[in-house]
Amino acid sequence: MHHTNDLRGIDLNLLVVLDALLAERHVSRAAERLAMTQPAVSHALARLRELLDDPLLVRQGNAMLPTARAQALAGPLADVLGQVRDLVLPGGFDPAHSQRRFRVGASDYGSAVVLPGVLRCLRSTAPGMTLEVMHYPRLEILRRVGDGTLDAGMVVAPMLPEDLQGELLLREHFVCVTDRANVDDAGTCDLERYLAAPHLHISIQGMHHSHVDEALRAQGLSRRIVAIAPHFMVATSLLPGTDLVLTVAARAVNADRLDPRLACFAPPLAVPSFDVMLVSRRDSNNDPALAWLRKVCRDAVMPGA
């Protein structure tokens, strides 16, 4: 049987009731929220239990607690109802009244650079929206955006699969950071000293060649990486008292709050800048809420881009 025909036998209004029950965890409060009678909500809950073959809410003392199945349904259900509201309500998408939940993939670097502005905007103009940020390696973000698990992702991605699109968020360059004991009187480090030093490398996915290593290899050179860590925003805290050199995206280093024991300087070789992209599915262009969120992300970094 076609899936559309399957849905004809289901009262989709039950999903609205389920959303209220999961939010309130109380039949009377859910009824008040929905402007329904308590018996009507109780009857809807009985139908939902039969439809989903799960008790959904189980009484424990004076509370009704969601089952594992109900907890798993809560996020996707909120997403679906949010999209339906955006689709059918008069005037189309309205961020002030939207209940959408967005899932975005990003590293801690992307989160630190983009999210502050995004969250300020959401709290002031779209207080009903929920933003969930997932921390994955670049290729995993692309895969999950492609299969719809993520709505969008912030990645360094010069090449994208055909079903994805990318828009520029910011252009970034590299800086070096090390303990002041490792630099000259001018607070810098020449190429010979740089190559002789042990290096700290930041990567979510373990050892791999970065833009820095590619620039070195182009000159027939290489560096010695002795430590690898997965988090950009705590990397500088690992350096004081060591001989390690960190070459990292400039926005990952808060120069105004840099530990006074550390020196920050330009790399002693030319390392190309790189673009941080916001990627999404090409077939999501007809989703006004996601288009709005993409604009919010772009605007969040525009002053510093």
- What domains sit in the chain, N to C, each tagged with a CATH number? 3-88 (1.10.10.10), 101-167+277-304 (3.40.190.10), 174-272 (3.40.190.10)
Two tokens at 160? 């994208």
Backbone angles phi, psi at 118, to 5 degrees: -65, -45
The mean of the pLDDT values for the chain is 87
In the block, tokens 């991605």 appear at 157
Banded model confidence at residue 90, pLDDT cuts 50, 70, 90? low
- The answer to whether the predicted template modeling score (pTM) of the entire model surpasses 0.85 is no
Q: How far, rounded to the nearest angstrom, does the alpha carbon of residue 67 sit from its chain's CA centroid?
A: 27
Q: Which of 175, 149, 35, 216 is nearest to 13 (CA)?
A: 35
CB atoms within 10 A of CB 53: 8
Tell me the mean pLDDT in the region 118-124: 95
The 10s digit of each residue's pLDDT in 201-232 is 998 876 666 889 999 999 999 999 999 999 99
- Residue 109 and residue 233 in contact, taking contact as beta carbons nearer than 8 Å: yes
CB atoms near residue 96 (< 10 Å): 10
Using DSSP bridges, classify how beta strands 101-105 and 152-155 pair: parallel, antiparallel or unpaired.
parallel
